[in-house]
């Protein structure tokens, strides 16, 4: 399989003909060859998007027609669900079941935003000035660049592509250089549906080469980024040159607060899923367990037993519950954090190493890992590891749980498990996070906004607000009886 760039309505090689091998993290086999774009490719794509926005019909089409084209792409994603899920599992190692779920979510995102396309007719303001009208309209922002990570390749792209297009923008998408396959496939659908030249552009390549141009260019009006906090800071700086709008969806160190009155088995199962789903490579993973002291020993013991039984393997095997990490480099980073946890004096209760099984030797696997006796200021507790690593702390009051939960630089998501709904609502109101789950962990859907407080970023994706992020707000005032003002008399 060969993947190319899509610029101004054409599939093209990278300007310098360079390519990159795309690797299956389960066995390190090459599954595709992707064009490795350059700065010049990024510039060409931005020029195409700029021209399509400034001179083309796309921003001026009836919103319902744009919505219909976005809906058709959603339908194609639905029709190609199995093929896309297969590619996503090859590319990321996640289980096929998870990839199929992602594809359903992704089609729903396209359908949801397609449905919103023509619902905002603007707002009439009651003008305080006689003989005038006043109204507020939303307009597209212009050229949007969109940069996505490797953990949910097409899902994170969908959250950006669908609202940007429905709102009438043109765009340049750059997926992670190591997981471009499903995003590229959806650009084939854009072509088949007949998106006008230059409206949607795809540039593959690294962040330092392509991503930096997408963030810096003065021809870009908005950059929407999902990825790590350090990259987010660079993008923020790069974007300041022309004061372009930015949306940053960054990492998390998400607390999972478990009170003693909760249903024990449910909370154990949810805590396991919160942190180890997709090998912990989830921005909102419940990687910090805060458990009420009175049930700590029993809870942790149950969790350890369950963690030991997690079936690692090939994402295509039905019995596999978790795949590998994405790359050798990323596994090394997670292993470094495990060493940091040991050096800091946390107790390694389970895991912490590569599995012994022969059939896993070629994949980037790491055992589900739990650290107990964690102190709140340890790096392993404070920093995003982005792997199958759980830290456990205790609390004895809800105030302590809230204080510990809030005490990191992040504010993406968190959860509280308790049978006392008043207590749950109180905790939810105090958590400084973009999403709080009560007696659950992980749900997200097209209708509800997603995004972070604090250094987990700003801007929201999904929901009505996820569409508004891709619009400018304009106030139009009209004087129906123009008269001289007569302020200046000379
Ligand atoms: N908040 C969310 O919704 C959300 C969702 C998924 C992932 N994430 C976060 O993403 C991170 C993991 O993803 P990752 O390792 O791919 O992140 P990353 O920051 O390394 O890379 C993300 C993207 O940015 C690009 N990039 C790298 N350097 C760049 C630069 N200087 N300029 C412009 N672009 C650049 C990469 O090529 C990639 O496409 C984690 O921190 C995770 O929490 C957040
Ligand atoms: C936003 N989400 C949960 C789909 C993926 C985070 O990594």
Q: In angstroms, what CA-CA distances link 433 with 159, 228, 318, 394, 444?
A: 20, 17, 35, 20, 14
| pLDDT of amino acid 321 | 98
Closest residue to atom 3 of ligand 1, CA basis: 249
| pLDDT of amino acid 490 | 86
Cα-to-centroid distance, 251 and ligand 2 (Å): 9
Q: What DSSP line would sit under 426-468, residue for residue? A: HHHHH--SSEEEES------TTS-B--SGGGEES-BSHHHHHH
Ligand index nearest the alpha carbon of residue 252 = 1
Q: What is the pLDDT of residues 135-169, one digit of tens each?
A: 999 999 999 999 999 999 999 999 999 999 999 99
Task: Report whether residue 178 contacts ligand 1, using a CB cutoff of 6 Å.
Answer: no
Q: What is the pLDDT of residues 116-125, one digit of tens each?
A: 999 999 999 9
Closest atom of ligand 2 to CA, residue 105: 4
Task: Report whether residue 284 contacts ligand 2, using a CB cutoff of 6 Å.
Answer: yes
Q: What is the mean pLDDT of the chain?
A: 98
CB 32 within 8 A of CB 22: yes
Q: Strands of 435-438's sheet, edge to edge?
A: 347-350, 369-372, 389-395, 288-292, 255-258, 413-417, 435-438
Task: Report whether residue 211 contacts ligand 1, using a CB cutoff of 6 Å.
Answer: yes
Ligand index nearest the alpha carbon of residue 183 = 1
Q: What is the pLDDT of residues 39-58, one digit of tens each?
A: 999 999 999 999 999 999 99
Closest residue to atom 36 of ligand 1, CA basis: 207
State the average pLDDT over residues 375-391.
98
State the average pLDDT over residues 347-359.
98
Closest atom of ligand 2 to CA, residue 152: 5
| pLDDT of amino acid 290 | 98
Q: What is the pLDDT of residues 192-224, one digit of tens each?
A: 999 999 999 999 999 999 999 999 999 999 999
Tell me which of 88, 109, 148, 152 to substitute to probe ligand 2's pocket, judged by most ligand atoms within 8 Å of the beta carbon: 152
Share of residues in the chain with pLDDT > 90 (%): 100
Within 8 A by CB and 6+ apart from 339, the residues are none
Closest atom of ligand 2 to CA, residue 450: 1
Task: Report whether residue 283 contacts ligand 1, using a CB cutoff of 6 Å.
Answer: yes
Task: Report whether residue 4 contacts ligand 2, using a CB cutoff of 6 Å.
Answer: no
Task: Report whether residue 215 contacts ligand 1, using a CB cutoff of 6 Å.
Answer: yes
Active site (annotated) includes residue 209 = no
State the average pLDDT over residues 287-305.
98
| pTM across the whole model | 0.98
């Amino acid at each position: 399989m060969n993947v190319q760039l899509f610029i101004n309505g054409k599939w093209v090689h990278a300007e310098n003909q360079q390519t990159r091998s795309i690797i299956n993290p389960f066995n390190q086999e090459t599954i595709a060859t992707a064009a490795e774009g350059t700065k010049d490719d990024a510039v060409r794509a931005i020029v195409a998007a700029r021209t399509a926005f400034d001179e083309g019909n796309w921003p001026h089409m009836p919103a319902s027609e744009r919505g219909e084209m976005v809906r058709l792409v959603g339908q194609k994603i639905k029709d190609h669900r199995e093929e896309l899920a297969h590619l996503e599992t090859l590319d990321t190692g996640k289980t096929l079941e998870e990839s199929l779920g992602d594809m359903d979510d992704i089609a729903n995102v396209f359908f949801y935003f397609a449905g919103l396309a023509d619902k905002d007719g603007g707002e009439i303001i009651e003008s305080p000035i006689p003989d005038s009208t006043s109204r507020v309209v939303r307009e597209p922002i212009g050229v949007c660049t969109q940069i996505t990570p490797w953990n949910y390749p097409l899902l994170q792209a969908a959250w950006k592509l669908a609202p940007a297009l429905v709102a009438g923008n043109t765009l340049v998408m750059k997926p992670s250089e190591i997981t471009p396959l499903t995003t590229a496939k959806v650009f084939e659908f854009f072509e088949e549906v007949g998106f006008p030249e230059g409206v949607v552009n795809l540039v593959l390549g690294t962040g330092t080469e392509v991503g930096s141009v997408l963030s810096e260019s003065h021809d870009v009006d908005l950059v929407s980024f999902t990825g790590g906090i350090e990259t987010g800071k660079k993008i923020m700086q790069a974007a300041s040159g022309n004061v372009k709008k930015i949306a940053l969806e960054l990492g998390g160190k998400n607390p999972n607060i478990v009170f003693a009155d909760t249903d024990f088995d449910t909370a154990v199962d949810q805590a396991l899923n919160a942190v180890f789903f997709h090998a912990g490579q989830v921005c909102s993973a419940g990687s910090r367990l805060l458990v009420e002291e009175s049930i700590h020993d029993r809870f942790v013991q149950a969790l350890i037993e369950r963690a030991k039984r997690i079936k690692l393997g090939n994402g295509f095997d039905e019995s596999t519950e978790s795949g590998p990490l994405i790359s050798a480099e990323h596994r090394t980073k997670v292993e470094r954090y495990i060493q940091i946890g040991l050096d800091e004096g946390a107790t390694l209760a389970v895991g912490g190493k590569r599995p012994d099984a022969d059939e896993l030797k070629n994949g980037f696997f790491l055992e589900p890992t739990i650290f107990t006796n964690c102190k709140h200021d340890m790096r392993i507790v404070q920093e995003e590891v982005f792997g199958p690593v759980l830290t456990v702390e205790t609390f004895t009051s809800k105030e302590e749980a809230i204080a510990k939960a809030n005490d990191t630089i992040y504010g993406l998501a968190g959860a509280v498990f308790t049978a006392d709904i008043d207590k749950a609502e109180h905790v939810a109101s105090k958590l400084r996070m973009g999403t709080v789950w009560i007696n659950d962990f992980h749900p997200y859907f097209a209708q509800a906004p997603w995004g972070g407080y604090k250094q987990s970023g700003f801007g929201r994706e999904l929901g009505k607000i996820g569409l508004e992020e891709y619009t400018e707000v304009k106030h139009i005032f009209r004087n129906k009886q123009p008269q001289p003002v007569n302020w200046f008399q000379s």
